[in-house]
Copies of this chain bind each other. A is one copy, B any other.
Amino acid sequence: MSELIVMKFGGTSVADPEKIQRAAERAITHRKKGKKVVVVVSAPGEMTDELIALARRVAPSPDPRELDMLMATGEQVGISLFAIACEARGVPATSLTGPQAGIFADAKHTKAKITQIRPGKIHQELKRGNIVIVAGFQGLNPRRDITTLGRGGSDLTAVALAAALEARQCEIYTDVHGVYTADPRLVPDARLIARISYDEMLELAGAGAQVMQSRSIEVAKKYGVRIQVAHAFDKHSPGTWIIEEVPSMEEAVVTGVALDRNQIKVTIRDVPDKPGMAADVFDMLGKANVNVDMIIQSAARGQSNDISFTVPKDDHESAIKALETVQRRLKTGSIEHNVNVAKVSVVGVGMRSHSGVAGKMFRTLADNSVNIQMIATSEIKISCIIENADGEKALRVLHKAFGLEKRRP
């Protein structure tokens, strides 16, 4: 049986007809080497955002089912143009929408999760010798409606397909050369990382590195899908491999640093100090599909606590609605929102065996007059909420403090 690979092209890589043709050439190169090729394509350029803006001109809060129906057209444009480019080069290709490709999802419109992949139609088209081009970001829910998988959902489509098809690897093509030790737009001496473990990549993505969506890395880890992130149009770029942890990785204590400016800090004052109160708060936020990141509960002052946490800016509106319910039902005090925050994080599997990373991080920030508002740690990550205005400085001094600009031995 010939080797099967999954390639994914993001929106910037299919933003115009010329780029679509160049992306198609890359797929054709694989096909001509005898490989079976499945391509996942995003909506071209800014199309998803444009469609959302259009919907908002019709209604400020568009119905989620219908917003999904609308947004799904973006990827459908991407796949058909990609297939047209392949066919025009004499290489048979078939585009499939998410539903046609057998991608089933749950019923949470605009944020659905993939529940199952039935790749019968994909296998059938591959057998006929076609390059199969699948719309990213979309699936069919139990009501047989089109649903979308949330921001970065095309990565998830690609990785989940690679797992379901038992592909040799999943190639994620984008407009950067791979994963860096820090965002190179903010830290000029950031270095491309050749290999990174799933866990580190997960933490970096969660910490604001936008190169890949977190859920897709979770799926890759679960099914052992080897991911290569590379530049769509630089054939000589080695890119970054996201793979199982290997011993040699442990040489570095810290692999990368990241800055996330997409968080809002919310504080609920005077939550009654009774058992289960915090659980109630986060249950209600969870039901409203708000992704809570960092949480701090202050020490009890008399009969009540303050609870602070961060939520993504995208979820702010639904968070506000959910918190109004929280306030009413639990009889809490005022709710404060702080949008002028940023989250800076250091990530590395080496932290497990090396102590002192947290101390070095806090010391570095203090030495540079960066005030820490909240701290959260995992086994391989430390994050601090700081003033937004300090974000870039914090990223640069941490990158330098952990020696990330130096080439590894």
- Residues of the B chain whose Cβ atoms lie less than 8 Å from the Cβ of A57: 17
Chain A window 29-67, contacts with chain B (Cβ cutoff 8 Å), 1 for yes, 0 for no: 000000000000000000000010011011111110111
Report copies per complex: 2
Given A17-B58, A58-B21, A76-B76; A69-B95 close (CB under 8 Å): yes
Smallest CB separation, A60 vs chain B (Å) = 8
Among B17, B60, B69, contact of A76 (Cβ-Cβ < 8 Å)? B69
What is the number of residues of chain A that contact chain B, defined by CB distance less than 8 Å? 36
A100 to B100, CA, bound (A): 12
Q: Are A20 and B76 in contact (CB under 8 A)?
A: no
Which chain B residues lie closer than 8 Å to A88 at the CB level?
58-63
Q: How far is the CA of A79 from the CA of B60 in the complex (A)?
A: 17
Q: Which B residue's beta carbon lies closest to that of A63?
A: B87
Q: How far is the CA of A67 from the CA of B95 in the complex (A)?
A: 11
Supply 10 A–B pairs (Cβ within 8 Å), ascending by A: A20-B58, A59-B85, A63-B84, A66-B81, A66-B83, A66-B95, A67-B84, A70-B84, A73-B76, A76-B76
**Chain B, Cβ-Cβ closest to A77:** B73
Nearest 8 CB-CB pairings of A with B? A59-B88, A70-B80, A73-B73, A69-B80, A17-B57, A63-B87, A66-B83, A62-B84
- What 1/0 flags go to A91-129 for Cβ under 8 Å of B? 001110100100000000000000000000000000000
Instruction: Map CB proximity to B onto A163-186 as digits: 1 under 8 Å, 0 otherwise.
Output: 000000000000000000000000
Q: Decide if A72 is an interface residue (CB 8 Å cutoff).
A: yes
Point out the residue from B51, B80, B144 that lies within 8 Å of A77, measured CB to CB.
Answer: B51
- Per a CB cutoff under 8 Å, which of B67, B77, B94 touches A65? B94
CA distance A70 to B84 in the complex (A): 10
Contact B69 A144, beta carbon cutoff 8 Å: no
In the assembly, what is the distance between CA of A88 and CA of B67, in Å? Answer: 12
Cα A77 to Cα B17 with chains together (Å): 21
* Distance to closest chain B CB from A109 (angstroms): 12
How far does the Cβ of A80 sit from chain B's closest Cβ, in whole Å? 4
- Closest Cβ of chain B to A28, distance in Å, is 13
How far does the alpha carbon of A60 sit from the alpha carbon of B63 in the complex, in Å? Answer: 38
Q: With the chains together, A63 CA to B83 CA distance in Å?
A: 8
Q: Which residues of B contact A20 (CB under 8 A)?
A: 58
Given A62-B88, A144-B100, the answer on whether A67 and B80 have CB atoms closer than 8 Å is yes
Taking A59-B88, A65-B94, A70-B76 as known contacts, 16 extra A-B pairs with beta carbons closer than 8 A to each other, sorted by chain A number, are A55-B81, A58-B85, A59-B85, A59-B87, A63-B84, A63-B87, A63-B88, A66-B83, A67-B80, A69-B79, A70-B77, A70-B80, A70-B84, A72-B76, A73-B73, A76-B76
Chain B residues within 8 Å of A84, by CB: 55, 58-59, 62-63, 66-67, 70
Bound Cα distance from A61 to B84, whole angstroms: 9
Enumerate A327-370 residues with CB–CB distance to B below 8 Å: none
